[in-house]
Amino acid sequence: MNSEHNEVMDIEEPVVAATRVIDELFPECRAAFLSSGVLTSRRTATSDLDIVVVLDGPPAPYRETIRRHGWVVELFVHSRDTLTHFFELDAQDRRCTLAQMCADGYVLKDTGGIVSGIQDEARALINAGPPELTVEERDQRRYFLTDLLDDLRGSTDPVETVFIASHLLQTAGALALQSERRWTGAGKWMARHLENSPGDFASRLVAAFSVVLANGDKQPLIDVVSSVLSLAGGPLTEGYGAQAPAE
């Protein structure tokens, strides 16, 4: 049995493995956080270790994927200043993934007591919520979602219907969250933010999408997406216009 196979089979507990990664690769780092998802019931057989590392300066910032101690490891390497900068960049996109990793993460290292300041900053950003949609942004999203919904209504090809429905799942979910100034994300992060939002919208959206997959019945998804559009100001087609950005 080769050594690579031995490493994959000998999977260590996440905190132990993450601590070894920091000790081996970043012994002089100022702080390090292990994203908490891998320490909860959300952990799966394919979960990786997401680690935020804070250095004094270069070569930060960078991102790298490696394999160590039986785990795929996603490294998010920053300086203190770039960490704040990327918190703000994410927030402009109405996402808070990096801030969440620091705010709720397991502290692997804290040199000079900087962790509390980082976590306070991350939690303050998360609690403040994302910026409100501008009128132009809301109209653009309403128009795009209306167009997708019309595509779903008119679709007769089963394969096209599934792809349109999957696009609607993400687009309607994002608009529902953004309309209420809630954080959004992609993939599992979208699901988690929807799950934490009030009401039963997440379960209704997923159930409606599942019906499309199961038997091609589009009406439940049309109904739930239409309710999202109503809350955002209603469908938008005729009369919509947008200016190209100035060069």
pTM of the complete model beyond 0.95: no
Q: What is the DSSP letter of 104?
A: S
Q: State the average pLDDT over residues 195-199.
A: 77
Residue-level pLDDT at 83 = 97
Q: Is the pLDDT of residue 38 over 80?
A: yes
Grade residue 245 by pLDDT with cuts at 50, 70 and 90: low
Grade residue 240 by pLDDT with cuts at 50, 70 and 90: low
Q: State the average pLDDT over residues 159-186.
A: 92
Could you tell me the CA-to-CA distances from 213 to 88, 154, 170, 174, 207 in Å, in that order? 38, 17, 15, 21, 10
Percent of the chain predicted with pLDDT > 70: 91
Angle between helices 188-195 and 201-215 (to 10 degrees): 130
Q: State the average pLDDT over residues 94-121.
A: 96
Per-residue pLDDT tens digits for 124-137:
999 999 999 999 99
Residue-level pLDDT at 7 = 39
Grade residue 164 by pLDDT with cuts at 50, 70 and 90: very high
CA pair distance 114, 136, nearest whole angstrom: 40
Q: Is the pLDDT of residue 5 over 50?
A: no
Nearest to 222 by CA among 145, 160, 115, 126: 145
Of residues 115 and 194, more confidently modeled = 115
Nearest to 175 by CA among 203, 222, 137: 137
Per-residue pLDDT tens digits for 63-92:
999 999 989 999 999 999 999 999 999 999
